[in-house]
Amino acid sequence: MKLFFKKLNVLLTRRDRQVLIYLLFFSIFISIIETLGVSVIMPFLAVVSDSSLVENNKYYKYVYDFFEFKNNSDFIIFFGFTLILFYILRSVFNMLYIYALVTFAQTRYHLLAFRLFENYMGMPYKKFVNKNSSMLTKSLINEAANVTSLFQSLLQIFTELLVMIFIYSMFLYVNYEITMVITIVIIINTIIIVKTVSKTIKKKGIKRSGLQANYYEVINSSLANFKMIKLQIQDNIILEKFHKATKDYAQVGIITATLKSAPKMIFEAISFSLVISLVIYLVYKYEDDASSHIGLLSIFVLGLYRFMPSVNKILDGYNNIMYQYKALDIVHNDLIYDIEDIGNKKVNFESLIKIKNLSFGYIEGQNILQDINLEINKGDKVAFIGESGSGKSTLIDLLIGLYKPCSGGIFVDDNLLCDSNIKSWRNKVGYIPQSVYLFDGTVAENVVFNRKYDEQKITEVLKKAKLYDFLQEKEGLLTVVGEGGILLSGGQKQRIAIARALYDNPDILVLDEATSALDDETEKEIMSEIYEMSENKTLIIVAHRLSTIERCEKIFRVEKGILKCEK
Ligand code: ATP
Ligand code: MG
């Protein structure tokens, strides 16, 4: 319980807490109105059935004299219209309250999803590569919404609790013996429901989260491997997987929804039983005179009419919280982990990059790179070669500051690269990766990639990447690339990646097998363009084809984690 509120607290900002306090006051106001709603009808009915009350009862008399009524029926008509006005206002206030409640909860959704997204974007790269994107998508879309519904339930419980307390006090005031009987019956039932129904619902909630993850996984993996699926003979295996994932998910939904409605049914049965038992009790005790206690009976009937739904809503809210508990866990965990705390300190690169005794491994104790020492002068053209899996891309990722060395370090003009200056270093690098992912948009948008749009610059870099002429035959800069660049050839995609890297005119250009998908002729053209362009730049290339790197001054071979100088 304490843990629950602690986790919830992490999700709330200071301003959220302030708003919550206003909401609490609002809910007190609403519960008073609700209690009045069930009790004011009584005096009205009383005076209608016995108009002599106007003279005999001091409260009626006071109002009668205050407004100077001429006769009793004027008084009753006035009373009636006041009540109508009250009930209209009650609805209006309730609507406003629901609006405030939902607004609070739904804005939480937007803010939570935003904070989650912000956290994911701030994750260190090493952490990110170990994450499953289906899980992240699920958290952003579903779990954040589930936590929102948990919030809503919590607020609902609070309001209903207040309503219950007010009505319960009224019950106690009217007749405490009957109230005690009602209390015991309700408490016993609540305990039974919490022990059985709520417990099952919580378990289903945990299962729901797992099943939903499956579901996303099947969707993502099959849509991303569509071509492979087309080529497989047994394409029904994937259909079966999807069938099972959705079916299991639906099953959990069915059980939960049914169980969720159980408390309502149980409490409805109890309310009727209680009212009928009360009548039997009155008849038994007062025999013929039972009808004179109809006032007492009606207070309880009306009271229970509002009280029981409150009990039900509280249990409903409680069950929902149990169901969404796993979501709270997930969102809480994803919000508290460390994001990269990187500073804005400038790094200058005037003369030398020096790698000193660098070792690195993805898993502790298993080094992929061992004691690497290396110097790259500004303006050097350097190449890394080596077998597949030898650690070239890893070394490049270290060089461009995505990973931190496990020991040793990288020095730029004698400044050690660390959290405080890594951002500025990453900014200096134009990186062209081994595999390119283009998003579904135009060529221009993919080149600009969240930076400032400059048409002239786009044209310039596309020309350098030897893509401009091809685009002229299509729709120019506005040619659509398709999701993942599916409408382009592998080489065209790589050229967009090259244009993207050149867009910022970086000091250092890093190509990780960036031209491997190109034919010899195009590669030669692009490489010579890149060599020309990078006359004053530092160029770091990973390549398999020797022709790509023949103009490099230094060539290193990565072999079993060790670096050997070849040229
Ligand atoms: P290629 O020429 O095929 O691109 P490479 O030399 O670039 O190969 P790397 O990608 O650096 O090789 O991988 C080096 C080793 O590190 C491989 O054995 C690979 O399995 C492992 N590896 C790469 N990324 C991770 C990761 N995120 N977690 C654990 N191991 C990894
Ligand atoms: Mg590689």
Per residue, the 3-state secondary structure of 53-88, as one string, reads: HHHHCHHHHHHHHHCCCCCHHHHHHHHHHHHHHHHH
Phi, then psi, of 249 in degrees rounded to 5: -65, -45
Give which of 465, 476, 468 is closest to 518, Cα–Cα: 465
pLDDT of residue 360: 94
List the alpha helices (DSSP H) in 52-198: 53-56, 58-66, 72-122, 125-128, 133-138, 144-174, 176-193
H or E stretch including 468? helix 468-473
The sheet carrying 352-360 orders its strands as: 369-377, 352-360, 407-412, 415-416
Per-residue b or e along 101-125, where b marks 16 or more CB atoms closer than 10 Å to that residue's CB: beebbeebbebbbebbeebbeebbe
Size of the chain, expressed as the number of residues it contains: 567
Ligand nearest to the CA of 544: 1
3-state secondary structure of 396: helix
Q: Which amino acid is at 314?
A: I
Q: How far is the CA of 395 from the centre of ligand 2 (A)?
A: 9
Cα–Cα distance measured from residue 215 to residue 242, given in angstroms and rounded to the nearest whole number = 7
Q: Which residue among 392, 399, 510 has the greatest number of ligand 1 atoms within 8 angstroms of its CB, and so is best to mutate?
A: 392
Give which of 114, 163, 102, 161 is closest to 139, Cα–Cα: 114
Residues 256 and 206 sit within 8 Å (Cβ to Cβ)? no
Give which of 221, 207, 507, 505 is closest to 349, Cα–Cα: 507
DSSP state for residue 442 in the 8-state scheme: B
pLDDT of residue 425: 92
Residues 498 and 539 sit within 8 Å (Cβ to Cβ)? no
Ligand nearest to the CA of 397: 1
Q: How far is the CA of 543 from the centre of ligand 1 (A)?
A: 15
Token representation of residue 364: 């502790």
pLDDT of residue 291: 67
Cα–Cα distance measured from residue 321 to residue 130, given in angstroms and rounded to the nearest whole number = 30
**Cα 130 vs. chain centroid, distance in angstroms?**
19
> What parts of the chain have a pLDDT lower than 70?
234-235, 290-292
CA-based Rg of the chain, rounded to a whole angstrom? 36
Helices and strands: H and E segment counts in the chain = 21, 10
H or E stretch including 411? strand 407-412
Q: How far is the CA of 359 from the centre of ligand 2 (A)?
A: 18
Q: Which residue among 393, 398, 399, 511 has the greatest number of ligand 1 atoms within 8 angstroms of its CB, and so is best to mutate?
A: 393
- Ligand 1: residues with CB < 6 A are 129, 362, 368, 386, 388-394, 434
Cβ neighbours of residue 62 closer than 8 Å, sequence gap 6 or more: none
The predicted model scores a pTM of 0.80
Q: How far is the CA of 429 from the centre of ligand 1 (A)?
A: 21
Ligand nearest to the CA of 395: 1
